[in-house]
Structure 1
């Protein structure tokens, strides 16, 4: 039975078996792409696909300058208190919500370019002109989609006690939302924000992290905008990444592996050599940038306290 599996799946199965049996523990390095290719007698592209599959399943993570290591097990989800839901009367507002949810599902599956009044109407099995009685057009629909997506965030009533942990949580909640909805960053604007209720709720909750730290209002806003826009700005690559994967058939790690010789020639130096574990993970990049940004904010806040 195992021999009938595709070669990359055999590698995935074996590495998962080692993790499950404790032969590989969290933080242990797994074979690099070239090591896996040699060990299982497959092409490097096949080995890259196996490691990418493990990464997508959350079994391994790429660590810069270390390689691919076994991921920490995900914490068990905490039970959430049940919230009472008030019955919503059927009517225009209910139909409007149904249109927005259909548009979000369409964007999640096919990207924001696929969202049109005609496409949403077809998904719902209703005449296109009927939608115009519920939303004015695609611009209003996009705003409602964004606000509905932000309504998915479960913001804790008791945020983390420190400003840094609060901002880290805000940024990661935002990043997780963008991972679920890769189209979302492109319909938001830093320069032309819309005062929509769920987005304002999130902004107020995040901004509360730095109120009372001794910063003047303008500086406090800039710190919050920088953190929020780091998540949004990095996430603008998610939809492009998905399009590139569909076009090339290669994940980022597979793309880097395929172009490794050219990258070696162009970028590698004796002081900063490129090894065979070279890859790219947007979440790793997001986390590294967030640390740098918050380190800078800590210096700024420290100066205000010493002044």
Structure 2
């Protein structure tokens, strides 16, 4: 792993900037090529996510990289690169004039709340929610930071807009399946898919202080509608709804946590577990935890934690347990 230290080259983030800048100048990274994400930089250089974020922000302010929705951070079209792999010389960048009569592009005029929100979502998807800032979003859009405040007053409000937009990307179809259980399963899997697509979503809001945004309410309303009409009192109805939502969110929280841990340590989940093999073996062989030792000893290649499978397993267990409550007791056995 490359280590960024300040001993011989100034602050770590400046060494990272210099390294990526050199790759662009050498033609190793051409306009449109993706540059390493915050997490990749943190793992490669052995720095904190904040340092990696500062490095990318510096490159954006220099105009060397830019963000593209659904793509990530790429080398900007105007970035200069040395001749390589048949690429044009940096001494002669493309300065083709705009067509006669065509107005010059004005980022400020083209700015909108939707563009700001979508840009922020792109940052959060690629680099995590802590990487989102009003300044960073403005930099990617090529506008002054204060311009974004005309559309959204703070980062807290921006995050709410981001969550609302993300939850609105998928919804249960109008022709919902028959039966409360099939409809609840569809609703839960729809939410899981959104958390899979945007792992940072699970870090926003909590059960005790829920997100009051319209597009999340749509999912909740449909879940409640699926459970309604079965004679449940209002408290039980909401308890079931909250329990199901907490299962989806509770598993999804670990998607972002694992991505953050991998970036911070530079180790994958398997690599981290391998590095703790001696500690695990000591616990197993201590004799203090017989049930744990027995369970672990039954695996040939170790326990494989798969979040998708765990989500499905938990959803089935919950619905199996809730079925008698929702549908009422079955006929008495003679």
Return the TM-score normalized by structure 1: 0.64
Distance in 1, Cα, partners of 2:304 & 2:218: 37
Give yes or no for the alignment of 1:247 onto 2:264: yes
Distance in 2, Cα, partners of 1:271 & 1:189: 33
Match of 1:128 in 2: 145
Match of 2:162 in 1: 145
CA contact (8 A) 1:215 1:301 kept: yes
Match of 1:269 in 2: 293
Match of 2:22 in 1: none
Distance in 2, Cα, partners of 1:257 & 1:117: 40
CA contact (8 A) 1:108 1:181 kept: yes
Displacement, 1:165?
A: 1.7
Distance in 2, Cα, partners of 1:306 & 1:138: 56
CA contact (8 A) 2:134 2:155 kept: yes
CA root-mean-square deviation: 2.5
Matches within 5 A, 1:126-275: 126-267=143-284, 268-270=292-294, 273-275=297-299
Distance in 1, Cα, partners of 2:124 & 2:295: 44
Which has the higher mean CA deviation after the structures are superposed, 163-172 or 109-118? 163-172
Match of 1:112 in 2: 129
Give yes or no for the alignment of 1:294 onto 2:311: no
Displacement, 1:265?
A: 4.1
Displacement, 1:242?
A: 0.3
**CA deviation map 1:16-75 (0-9, x unaligned):** xxxxxxxxxxxxxxxxxxxxxxxxxxxxxxxxxxxxxxxxxxxxxxxxxxxxxxxxxxxx
CA contact (8 A) 2:128 2:256 kept: yes
CA contact (8 A) 1:171 1:231 kept: yes
Return the TM-score normalized by structure 2: 0.59
Distance in 2, Cα, partners of 1:306 & 1:92: 68
Q: Partner of 2:227: helix, strand, or coil?
A: coil
Change (3 A) 1:114 1:272: closer
CA contact (8 A) 2:165 2:215 kept: yes
CA contact (8 A) 2:199 2:253 kept: yes
Q: Partner of 2:262: helix, strand, or coil?
A: helix
CA contact (8 A) 2:230 2:327 kept: no
CA contact (8 A) 1:253 1:280 kept: no
Determine which structure has more spread, i.e. the larger CA radius of gyration: 2
Distance in 1, Cα, partners of 2:110 & 2:211: 20
Distance in 1, Cα, partners of 2:295 & 2:252: 31
Distance in 1, Cα, partners of 2:205 & 2:293: 40
Q: Partner of 2:203: helix, strand, or coil?
A: helix
Displacement, 1:274?
A: 4.3
Unaligned runs of at least 5 residues, structure 1: 1-90
Which has the higher mean CA deviation after the structures are superposed, 173-182 or 266-275? 266-275
Displacement, 1:156?
A: 0.8
Distance in 2, Cα, partners of 1:164 & 1:260: 42
Q: Partner of 2:297: helix, strand, or coil?
A: coil
Which has the higher mean CA deviation after the structures are superposed, 228-237 or 241-250? 241-250
Unaligned runs of at least 5 residues, structure 2: 1-107, 285-291
